Structure 1
């Protein structure tokens, strides 16, 4: 005997979605039979299931098949070869009975009354009841030792094409920010997940096979106010939605997981060699004191700002990395037109085994306020030593210097520094 199990027997469902475009599905079902069962058909599984990831607890399995090549016109007709079918004339209602001989390239039959061969008969083809064993949905088919079933089983598997991403909107008004975080879940896995316990796992998980998503229509659903708890997993962060969530196949769902208003931020200006205008960077601490204090998953941040008229304008976007609690969130939103920069190498000369290089940054501030400009200068692959500098600096690492230059409103400031490079070290490959 065969037993079919569907989601109607489901007792519990949990889905853990990963950044890499796959998910771990875990469900509990109750199996009960009145007769000895030797085959269990476990239906309503994801079409993109990774069959080598399936784990079944509570059932001893002798053999497992994944049947996903489901009913279609061609496969259905193949099941009726050598059986009698009827062809009904849609205009007259008359019927002809024939034995189905072939469906390879066209429909060929033998009339039951005259034994004549009929090719592609005109009319409506009427088939008997579905043959036993023909599945209408993807299914895991398990062969077991014949037995009565009265038990719960737990089935878990990985499926491709279920992914999640975080994205944010940031609104700036005067010196305060409003930050809203959203989780976007896209389901192309070929299964519905109804009232699931949903967890989102952040971090890069090594997979041997790259995931590719097929293009297909998307349904949009926006769900408000989904409380989120974070928990630690070794080398990962887990974001758990604190209520059941339904994600249907071919659906894009957005869940709100963060809302912070009225918090302080800093706006800083940065210049690198070759820049003609300063970059604008927004920064704020990811702390409880600043209304945050939870690990923030990587994602795109779109920034909007209120103008003097009260109208809101889009002012840039950037991608933040996974940001742990206590770290600073930094968002670069583009260039500012009223802070200009000109940089160039002023002098390069050799003295013995050393080469002396003088570099200049000319900075101009046309803003109504005094500002600080961070100048980041990079020295790649060189053993060097500073000889002189017009401004204080911090050595960020062996390849980067950072100067802080104060520039008054409607004024200019010039940064000049000289460093020497040991050419012997370059020859030795240091």
Structure 2
């Protein structure tokens, strides 16, 4: 079937034809406060030029992103102009539109008063009475106001208007797509460590936050995980949201799409405006984990971080692309009650990659970092020596991963322990610390720039 596509940027006119209903809705949501709305609607269009109304679009639509496919006889329908009407009804706007027009007031002491509105402030308004006299009335005395009709230009819903020219059939099928801001999604994970801290039960939820100004009914929901390139648009102020937790079972299909990952909900979804909605997409899955103690004295001279590390592989219980999101970790106490241990963010993680989550800082392990000397060798080089002390106040021996980061061209000339891992800007050691003991690491680094 041949389609004609129109990319529209425009401003214009009034309404003669209104597109009725939503036959089909696809909603594709991105991580960065953006969604693509795709609606298919059946319409009746008169012959010749007319103005067609496409109501109930998202109030945070990006008007220049509108794309129209005319699915039947596209060559006989011409889109001439477009206008996005978003001047919505409220009391202040109605008063503004009724300047120099007749209004009807119900007052506390004078009953009904009729006159021409000349001015209005927060405190009072000025009416010209039928006999020509002026009446200044305090706003607090007004119980209600009646207006003869809705002023021209105000709308109850955000609406697209098109000036069109139809030289063909009246019955048309329009496929309309546009981008909107103020709707986003993220993954949120919940993990529970076992008694020995070597396994985790991990579940994943999709959290959708819709503040786009539109409710999407029976929508085919798709989620894109990945970092798309997007020009920054001005955002309107966010509104308060109400929260809904869905008890649905996992129902997403995942696949690679372009350079991203696409998650499609198998059933139609209701995504209400001003709502947060959670849908499970990973059932509780047990994976192997390794608890690590990590010391980076250049960032925090005393704290030793507690991390858990696991591999996103089928062998270790996972093996699926994991979109970025917050991971919250719990553990059961002896009486079965759950204790919250901490939370951290994970990045978009393909399968067969490692994930490290910082849970917090160890209470019973203290680090100390000292610079023993700093000798200048030349104008562009120096030599420094460091001592790392790790004190373990726990009842069992531990192993601490010590991380040091360096800049420029550098090499370690001396070290009391072998370097475990080295990259262009980082060196790592594994330091064993007996129970209730202290261990030290010393090293010398020579740098030039």
Q: State the TM-score, normalizing by the size of structure 1.
A: 0.84
1:167 aligns with 2:225: no
Q: Please, which of 371, 392, 402 is the counterpart of residue 345 of structure 1?
A: 371
Q: For the Cα contact (< 8 Å) 1:161–1:187, is it kept in 2? A: yes
Q: How far 1:51 sits from its partner (Å)?
A: 0.7
1:368 aligns with 2:395: yes
1:357 aligns with 2:384: yes
- 1:71 counterpart residue number: 89
- 1:3 counterpart residue number: 17
Q: How far 1:33 sits from its partner (Å)?
A: 5.2
Residues 103 and 152 from structure 1, CA distance in 2 versus in 1: closer, same or farther, beyond 3 angstroms?
A: farther
Q: For the Cα contact (< 8 Å) 1:4–1:43, is it kept in 2? A: yes
1:9-408 alignment, distance < 5 Å: 10-32=22-44, 38-58=50-70, 59-73=77-91, 76=94, 101-102=116-117, 104-105=119-120, 106=125, 108=127, 111=130, 119=135, 127-128=147-148, 135-146=155-166, 149-174=170-195, 175-210=198-233, 212=235, 214-224=237-247, 225-273=249-297, 275-349=301-375, 355-381=382-408, 383-408=409-434
Deviations 1:43-89 (A, max 9, x none): 01011111111111115211111111133446557878898877789
CA distance in 2, matches of 1:145, 1:327: 56
Any gaps of 5 or more consecutive residues in structure 2?
A: 1-14, 71-76
Comparing 387-396 with 243-252, greater Cα deviation is found at 387-396
Deviations 1:264-307 (A, max 9, x none): 21101111225324211101111223332221111121211223
Any gaps of 5 or more consecutive residues in structure 1?
A: none
Residues 228 and 73 from structure 1, CA distance in 2 versus in 1: closer, same or farther, beyond 3 angstroms?
A: same
Residues 400 and 223 from structure 1, CA distance in 2 versus in 1: closer, same or farther, beyond 3 angstroms?
A: same
CA distance in 1, matches of 2:92, 2:304: 65
CA distance in 2, matches of 1:86, 1:410: 85
For these two proteins, the number of residue pairs brought into alignment is 414
Q: For the Cα contact (< 8 Å) 2:97–2:151, is it kept in 1? A: yes
Deviations 1:367-401 (A, max 9, x none): 333332211122222x3333332222134213211
Deviations 1:99-154 (A, max 9, x none): x755554575674xxx6667579886655565788632211111112565201101
Residues 132 and 326 from structure 1, CA distance in 2 versus in 1: closer, same or farther, beyond 3 angstroms?
A: same
SS at match of 1:337: coil
Q: For the Cα contact (< 8 Å) 1:181–1:259, is it kept in 2? A: yes
Comparing 412-421 with 243-252, greater Cα deviation is found at 412-421
Q: How far 1:22 sits from its partner (Å)?
A: 1.6
Residues 211 and 320 from structure 1, CA distance in 2 versus in 1: closer, same or farther, beyond 3 angstroms?
A: farther
Q: For the Cα contact (< 8 Å) 1:77–1:103, is it kept in 2? A: no
SS at match of 2:315: helix
Q: How far 1:322 sits from its partner (Å)?
A: 1.1
Q: How far 1:261 sits from its partner (Å)?
A: 3.4
CA distance in 1, matches of 2:174, 2:278: 32
Q: For the Cα contact (< 8 Å) 1:2–1:37, is it kept in 2? A: no
Comparing 134-143 with 347-356, greater Cα deviation is found at 347-356
Q: Please, what is the CA RMSD of the aligned residues? A: 3.3
Deviations 1:347-385 (A, max 9, x none): 44567897543322222333333332211122222x333
Q: For the Cα contact (< 8 Å) 2:101–2:117, is it kept in 1? A: no
Q: For the Cα contact (< 8 Å) 1:396–1:402, is it kept in 2? A: yes
CA distance in 2, matches of 1:186, 1:244: 17
Residues 124 and 380 from structure 1, CA distance in 2 versus in 1: closer, same or farther, beyond 3 angstroms?
A: closer
Q: For the Cα contact (< 8 Å) 1:3–1:37, is it kept in 2? A: no
SS at match of 2:78: coil
Residues 389 and 142 from structure 1, CA distance in 2 versus in 1: closer, same or farther, beyond 3 angstroms?
A: same
SS at match of 2:64: helix
